[in-house]
Amino acid sequence: MSRPGLFITFEGIDGAGKSSHIEGLAEAFRAQGRTVTVTREPGGTPLAEKLRAMVLNDPMDALTESLLIFAARRDHLCQVIEPALARGDVVLCDRFTDATFAYQGAGRGFDLEVLSKLELMVQTGLAQEPGFMRNPDLTVWFDLAPEIAAQRLAGARVPDRFEAQPVEFFRRVAQGYADRAATAPQRFARLDAALDRHRVWQQLTSVFVRRGWLAIMVATQGGGQ
């Protein structure tokens, strides 16, 4: 009997270190016989990647930004996420709708009610069950103080339109993540992202072992010491 798909998302402010652990987790799942789809938002499809470039680099207001992100998300769901889950893949996605509520909602101060309506519209009607709204099975939240994140990002690369925001913006984003986690505590797994990379990796894999999604603790991560 084929195993059902798993939809796992990774969230946190820029500089929290989530992206560096995603491929290691993909390797851990593959080692236990799972097929893994690794993707990201905004992005994941040719159309969504074009929209991503606009969102990250072109000036726009918060509503335009939100509409573009949800348009990219709809295409991503239709073209990548839902087909992968239907095949029984483990889908590991770097950011999803929680990021929209944190960045556009809390960070930009955009209307959360409007975001909720867009969330319902975009994430419903894609799976076989009528009226089912697609949400992650698990969201791994890399929680990090914005001041530490800013130190990690300093000089790393030319910042995009979000990375260039002041620390106060990221304080609001971090609070936005905390608010989302409070509304769905069973879906969120919080990691202390201020720890060194190896200890964050240990926290991460223990989440999946406890849920029975990884059979054994993965002792190391390639390139992640």
Distance of CA 114 to the CA centre of its chain: 20
Whether residue 81 is annotated as binding a ligand: the answer is no
If DSSP states are collapsed to H, E and C, what string results for the chain?
A: CCCCCEEEEEECCCCCCCHHHHHHHHHHHHHCCCCEEEEECCCCCHHHHHHHHHHHHCCCCHHHHHHHHHHHHHHHHHHHHHHHHHHCCEEEEECCHHHHHHHHHHHCCCCHHHHHHHHHHHHECCCCCCCCECCCCEEEEEECCHHHHHHHHCCCCCCCCCCCCCHHHHHHHHHHHHHHHHHCCCCEEEEECCCCHHHHHHHHHHHHHHCCCCCCCCCCCCCCC
Whether residue 13 is annotated as binding a ligand: the answer is yes
Whether residue 14 is annotated as binding a ligand: the answer is yes
CA distance 153 to 159: 8
Whether residue 18 is annotated as binding a ligand: the answer is yes
Whether residue 15 is annotated as binding a ligand: the answer is yes
Whether residue 117 is annotated as binding a ligand: the answer is no
- Feature table: binding site for ATP: 12-19
- Feature table: binding site: 12-19
